[in-house]
Structure 1
Amino acid sequence: MSHYEAQYQLGRTFHSCLAAGDWDGIRALLTDDATWTLPGDNTVSGTAEGAEEVVERAKKIASYGLDFELLHILVSRENMALSLHNTARRGELRLDEHLSTVCRLRDGRIASIETYLSDVAGMNAFFV
C-alpha cells in the first residue's frame, strides 16, 4: 500500500468508526497526545487534549444524533482531511453544516485534528 493509499484508508477508517460509534476503533487511530480543536462557543468547542479526551469529544458529538456524510477524503504530502456534510435534528433545532476535519499525522496515526465549519452560529445553537 502506498503512502497516499494509507492516508485514504486512515480517513475512511476514522469516518466509519465515527459513524458507527466505534470508540475503541477511533482510539486506535490516535497518538496518545492527540488533540481535537473545534471553533465556536458551545458544548463541543475548544480543544480536547489527549486521546481519551478526543474520544470523549467524538462520543459527545455523536450523542446529538448526527449523520456524518463523507463527501471527500483529501490528502497532502503528509496529512489528511475529511470533507463532511453533517446533519441532525433535535426538537425544533436543525443542524446542516459542511466542514473539513484536518488531521495531522505522525507515524501513521492521527496526532491532531482541527475542524473548519461553514456555520459556526448554527453549531453554537445546536450544541447546547
Structure 2
Amino acid sequence: MSEANKQILVKANAAILKRDFEGFLLLCTEDTTWTFEGDRTIEGKEAVREWMRATYVEPPDLNVHRMIADDEYVVALGDIMLKDEQGKAVRHSYSDVWRFRDGKMAELHAFVIKA
C-alpha cells in the first residue's frame, strides 16, 4: 500500500505542474483537509480548488527530493518556487505529510518555510 500511495502522490504532483487541478482533485477525498502549519487549514475539495487557483496562477517549479512511505502515510520533502504578490519568484522548502484513505489523499499537514 505504501508504494501505491507514493505513486498516487507522484501522479498528483504531475497534475499540479500542468495546472490540472481537476485531475489532482480526483486523487483527493471529498472531505480532504489541508493544514499549513502556522498559517491556515483548508477543508473540502471546493476550498482546495479555490486555494489552488489563487496560489498556482502559473505552474510552480516543484522538486521532490525524497518520499518516505509508511502504511497510510507518505512524507514528501522538497522545494517549490512560487511567485509572490509582486511577481517575484520565491523558493520555499517544504515537508508534506499526506494521509491516504481508500487510495486517495485525505489529509495534508504541510510545513513550508521560505528558503
When normalised by structure 2's length, the TM-score is: 0.84
SS of the aligned residue for 1:99 comes to: strand
Aligned residues: 114
Partner deviation per Cα, 1:6-50 (whole Å, 9 max, x = no partner): 11111101111111111111111111111111134xxxx411111
1:28 paired residue number? 26
| Bigger CA radius of gyration | 1
Task: Structure 1: give runs of 5+ residues left out of the alignment.
Answer: 123-128
Residue 51 of structure 1: CA displacement? 1.1
Normalized per residue, which structure has more helix? 1
Runs of 4+ aligned residues of structure 1 deviating over 3 Å after TM superposition are: 88-94
SS of the aligned residue for 2:71 comes to: coil
What letter is aligned with 1:4? S
- 1:32-47 pair list within 5 angstroms: 32-40=30-38, 45-47=39-41
Which residue of 8, 17, 28 corresponds with 1:19?
A: 17
2:113 paired residue number? 118
**RMSD, aligned CA:** 2.1
Normalized per residue, which structure has more strand? 2
CA distance in 2, matches of 1:22, 1:69: 17
User: Identity over the aligned pairs, expressed in percent?
Assistant: 24
Structure 1 residue 69 and structure 2 residue 67: aligned? no
What letter is aligned with 2:15? C
CA distance in 2, matches of 1:116, 1:38: 6
Partner deviation per Cα, 1:70-126 (whole Å, 9 max, x = no partner): 22222122211222211245547441111011111111111111111233xx7xxxx
Task: Structure 2: give runs of 5+ residues left out of the alignment.
Answer: none
The answer to whether the 8 Å contact 1:82/1:101 transfers is yes
CA distance in 1, matches of 2:89, 2:23: 28
What letter is aligned with 2:100? L
What letter is aligned with 2:93? H
